[in-house]
Amino acid sequence: MNYRLYITVVIGMILMSGCDPDDRERRNPLDAGNALTSGRPQNLRSLGNHESVGLSWNRVFLSDVVGYRLYRTDGSGSVTTTDVFGTPPPNEFVDENVLNGETYEYKFSVLIGDRQNPLESDISNGVFSSPGPESCWVIDEGLGFVLKVSSDARAISHSVVSIFGARHIAIDPRDGAAWLTTEFGGAGQGGIAVRYTAAGTRSTVVTGFRLPGPVGVDPSDGSVWVADEGTGEGDALVVRATEKGIPIFRLTDFVKPTALAIVGNSGSAWIGDSGAHTVSLISNLSVRLSTVENMGLPSEIAVNASSGACWVIDSSRASVFRLDPDGSVSATITGFTEPISLAYSVLTNDCWIIDSGTASILRISDSVSGLYDVLQSQSFHKILSGLVVPSDVTIDDTNGNVWVSDLALTGLLKYSNDGVEIARFPGLLVPTTIAVDQGTRSVTFIP
């Protein structure tokens, strides 16, 4: 058979049959008259990784298919092609000849006949990918999964099996593993803290909690801190354990620990206690270094890893405080409606704060001091609007990019450190909590 006539012969047979080709069930996806495909190969998918792009596509089940041809267009408009052969021909490929931050368009075609001089089908529609080092972990309560979204916010790299009730997440910056907490451990375990590798494999489970909440990871050794607010019967505690889940110490002198953040340069932890209305700095040897009283209901903490200072949301007063390591209050920021989440950027020395009452994010300079009202002054902050129901914020300290989850937009938004929207990923349901993995991982995902 003359393979150069392969596609046209199929069409000709339909026309000669006297049937209306529009009514005939199309079985050849490369038939230009196919109502579903119009003769183009289908479902090319791309996923940006660190210095690579994973590609996959629908396999074409025709006996004469010998391979596929990939087309890549870079930002300058230069087009390169790669032929993918095999027996059977693979329907995936990893492009490692890419640069992080660059945007590439990919298309593909089907090769038929012989490898030396194949007949080529029409070319598929294009997809875009921008590889990069970071990825964003998302707890989606609606989908019931913990997901990982690619650096360019275009695709889900993979999902972890359902973890019911997970509300808090922290990333181990050494290897990209994620620690999550939930009160529903299952099988009589009660509340647990569980560690997943960067590839999504469960590696460690710490049990013995009642209502485990905020979690943090010491970047120096991977040890995990977990705050358990307990049931109100004197069973609240804070636990520090090794990466393997071996307990290092347990602190039982908290009433209701509801906020926690690690100071990266020392391994100590700031802990907010809503029951005692305090915020304390605890060393990695369990020594209480300082305590700030009259803090209302501390609900969220973010840390400036350089100075060791922390920013705290007091939900009872709708205010944010900056506390120095010696326990002094160096800034009090008011004028919020309902602050619910915050993150600190060590690159720009700013604290980003979500005010759910105004559906906005405020970027406040670390230069602020004393009493500062965001309604009365513009000297030390900027407002980022355009959100609907923002739920969480996290920052990549390698490039300053800011990730925000929005319940009403059912997705993620990614901003540059000056507040310009870079990308958005709408394919979620109820994204409540996010954390960015900012490391350069060798794990390559294919969609």
How many CB atoms lie under 10 A from the CB of residue 9?
12
CATH number 1.10.600.10 given to 135-437: no
Cis peptide before 89 (omega within 30 of 0): no
Does residue 12 sit in helix, strand or coil? helix
Burial of 378 (0-12, 13-18, 19+ CB in 10 A): exposed
pLDDT tens track for 86-130: 989 999 999 999 998 899 999 999 999 988 889 899 999 999 998
Q: What pLDDT sits at residue 18?
A: 42
Q: What pLDDT sits at residue 442?
A: 62
Contact call for residues 261 and 303 (beta carbons, < 8 A): yes
Residue partners of 436: CB distance under 8 A and separation at least 6: 134, 135, 136, 137, 171, 394, 395, 396, 401, 403
In Å, what is the CA distance from 4 to each residue of 7, 112, 190? 8, 9, 66
Element (H, E) at 9: helix 6-16
Residue ranges in the chain whose pLDDT is less than 50: 1-25
**In terms of CATH architecture, what is 3-129?**
Sandwich (2.60)
- Measured CA to CA, the distance from residue 400 to residue 104 in angstroms comes to 23
Domain ranges of the chain: 3-129, 135-437
Task: Give the bridge partners for 413, in sequence order.
Answer: 404, 424
Q: What pLDDT sits at residue 279?
A: 98
Q: What pLDDT sits at residue 13?
A: 41
pLDDT tens track for 29-41: 776 767 677 668 8
- Measured CA to CA, the distance from residue 160 to residue 166 in angstroms comes to 12
- Measured CA to CA, the distance from residue 154 to residue 26 in angstroms comes to 32
**Dihedral of CA 153/156/160/163: which sign?**
positive
Burial of 234 (0-12, 13-18, 19+ CB in 10 A): exposed
Task: Please tell me the pTM assigned to this model.
Answer: 0.84
In the sheet where 45-49 sits, what is the strand order? 45-49, 52-56, 92-95
- Measured CA to CA, the distance from residue 217 to residue 159 in angstroms comes to 21
Q: Do domains 3-129 and 135-437 have the same CATH topology?
A: no
Q: What pLDDT sits at residue 1?
A: 38
Closest to 312 (Cα-Cα) out of 303, 304, 301:
301
